[in-house]
Copies of this chain bind each other. A is one copy, B any other.
């Protein structure tokens, strides 16, 4: 009997995530019922937000249930359908989770055009990470020409799009990334004016030196020392979009030493989650698809091969070992 391999959450991590928190199981490939479609997954998406879902505490995402298949985005192909919106061969993106096949009643499942754009880009710059970048940059930071916009995790799935959209908007872009390779890529391929290596022993001084005109906008993906350093360099009317705080997901919380900074500079900090703004996705995706198809937005992927590599690839991503969008390729 054909088998669907799946990863379920076996236990919640205490601190750092371990491979043993996940368990590989095999179940029969399901048969679609009335209104359902069966998707064969080509790529799985691995994203920082998944770390929050492993905790059994209040967060923006509902906790992942122990014993259930790990949730997450996936792209693939319809192999059988009792839903009029889908026919076999259609390429689709949805929330299929960490498995080789998924059943869907069609909710949250959308057909994509994989002829102009590679299918896995719908998990990256033309998917949730891209819309995240688009929303936080355009709706919270709203960069003006000549302003200085700082992006942490500058080469990541979200940050890489933020930096390029900010550049298109005429801003000066300063990236923060881990290691000389990522920094070189940020400057040379993603068009950042400057990129500062947060692994450098002189990071704080180097970041300050990269901000001679202060900070007008900060797209925050990381938290910790880079965040605090940027907060010390805010210009008046600065806007900080808090998208993620990956440095704090398994460590000390990121604090703000002095709220008075916001008063003196008349600045705002706003947290956001892209799934709160579904009405804007079509507009954002259309713009992003155009930028990607015409190479105004470039991106990079780290691709793990085979479902069995998923937990390891997820852990590597949390540690910043990925370079660009972290994917798992299944076929």
Contact = CB atoms under 8 A, between A and B. Distances in A.
Contacts of A59: 264
Contact of A271 (B242, B253, B264, B271): B264
Contacts of A257: 253, 255
B60 A266 contact: yes
A255 B264 contact: no
B268 A269 contact: yes
Residue among A242, A244, A257, A260 having the largest count of chain B Cβ atoms under 10 Å: A260
Interface string A226-269: 01000000000000001111001000011111111111111111
Given A268-B270, A270-B267, A271-B265, A260 B248 contact: yes
Contacts of A276: 266
Chain A: interface residue count, which band? 20 to 34
Contacts of A258: 248, 253-255
A272 interface: yes
Nearest to A243: B263
A173 B232 CA distance: 34
A220 B269 CA distance: 15
A58 interface: yes
Contacts of A256: 255-256, 259
A127 interface: no
